[in-house]
């Protein structure tokens, strides 16, 4: 569906929203649902290791599904190149069609003074905040352009 056909509705569009288990990303996913888009909210794999914040992926999926569209969870590790290389295809398979909308909203922040930050912390932030958005965009854009979007 060309971009101009989506100006008033997102029906039949598939959206992948990274970081959608929390706050802004969850609200974005829910807004897409209200406009008729199928969504694949994503929860970064590294979040599974820490105490979940209020809401979470299950709640985000539940809130999106209330709008009558497809809402399926996707858990993947954005710090892992192999996981990242599969996310767009996994979302398309779970949503029953290609990804039309990609919102790269996951982020990693280690709040330590630079003198105390370990190399693994710097690598994690760079993987999530730089490599993941670029890799996901490169995976999604060719299909979007082939369908008249992107």
Give me the mean pLDDT over the 33-53 stretch.
62
Q: Rounded to the nearest 5 degrees, what angle is found at the Cα of 110, between the Cα atoms of 105 and 116?
A: 160
Higher pLDDT, 59 or 17: 17
- CA 128 – CA 42 distance, rounded (Å): 13
pLDDT at 50: 44
Instruction: Give Cα separations from 22 to 26, 37, 56, 58, 88 (angstroms).
Output: 5, 19, 6, 10, 20
Q: Which of 36-45, 64-73, 74-83 has the lowest mean pLDDT?
A: 36-45
- CA 100 – CA 116 distance, rounded (Å): 41
pLDDT digit string (tens) for 95-150? 888 999 999 988 888 899 999 999 999 999 999 999 999 999 999 999 999 988 87
DSSP assignment letter at 130: I
């Amino acid at each position: 569906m060309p971009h101009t056909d989506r100006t008033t509705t997102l029906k039949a569009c598939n959206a992948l929203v990274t970081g959608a288990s929390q706050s802004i990303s969850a609200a974005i996913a829910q807004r897409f649902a209200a406009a008729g888009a199928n969504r694949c909210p994503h929860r970064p794999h590294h979040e599974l290791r820490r105490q979940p914040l209020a809401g979470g992926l299950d709640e985000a999926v539940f809130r999106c599904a209330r709008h009558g569209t497809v809402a399926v969870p996707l858990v993947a590790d954005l710090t892992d190149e192999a996981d990242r290389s599969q996310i767009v295809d996994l979302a398309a398979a779970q949503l029953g069609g290609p990804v039309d909308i990609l919102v790269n909203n996951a982020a990693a922040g280690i709040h330590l003074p630079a003198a105390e930050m370990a190399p693994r912390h710097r690598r994690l932030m760079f993987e999530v905040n730089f490599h993941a958005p670029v890799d996901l965009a490169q995976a999604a854009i060719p299909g979007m352009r082939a369908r008249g979007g992107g």
